[in-house]
Amino acid sequence: MSHNPDCLFCKIVEGKIPSKKVYEDEDVFAFHDIRPAAPIHFLMIPKKHIPMLSDMTILDEQLLGKMMLLAPKLALEAGARPGESGGFKVLLNNGADGGQEVYHVHMHVMAGPRPWKYQ
Ligand code: 5GP
Ligand code: ZN
């Protein structure tokens, strides 16, 4: 697995920095956001170091599909309410103009009753 020794989220994957784990498999790691913007807020990341969504290629198609399909399952397991009256938000910031602060691809999954800090 290709980790970047200077990357915060690589250190989280490797357990060098503690996190509250939500899910892990051979490709994906998910953990609660340290500054939640919603009652439920976790981040899902590929285990391998990829800085930005725009760095991903057709070779990552399965990985991205897996992450997108895991989002509803993990959101429900984390306490998101089911159905149209419940739900969750998936957000992926790309680059400075996209609001990205940590340069290891991460999908935000937010859920829970409103209001949220992040709309
Ligand atoms: P971005 O703005 O890059 O899309 O989101 C980065 C997210 O990472 C932010 O929501 C921030 O709260 C979260 N974050 C930053 N540092 C840490 C950390 O050390 N641990 C955890 N669990 N989350 C972090
Ligand atoms: Zn990384």
Site of tokens 């913007």: 37
Closest C-alpha residue for ligand 1 atom 15: 34
Per-residue pLDDT reduced to its tens digit, 62-115: 999 999 999 999 999 999 999 999 999 999 999 999 999 999 999 999 999 999
CATH number, span 8-111: 3.30.428.10
* Domain ranges across the chain: 8-111
Centre of ligand 1 from the C-alpha of residue 41, in Å: 10
Please tell me which residue in 49, 104, 106, 108 is annotated as part of the active site: 106
The whole model's pTM is what?
0.98
Mapped onto helix, strand or coil, the DSSP state of residue 47 is coil
**Phi, psi (deg, nearest 5) at residue 10:** -60, -40
* Catalytic residue status for 106: yes
Site of tokens 């800090």: 117
Pocket residue to mutate for ligand 1, from 89, 94, 102, most atoms within 8 A of Cβ: 102
Which conformational region is residue 99 in: left (phi greater than 0), alpha (psi within -120 to 50 degrees), or beta? left
Per-residue pLDDT reduced to its tens digit, 15-54: 999 999 999 999 999 999 999 999 999 999 999 999 999 9
Which residues have C-beta atoms less than 6 Å from ligand 1?
8, 17, 19, 31-35, 43, 93, 99-102
Q: Which of 63, 73, 76, 77 is nearest to 106 (CA)?
A: 63
E-strand spans in 18-113? 21-24, 28-32, 40-46, 88-91, 107-111
pLDDT at res. 1: 75
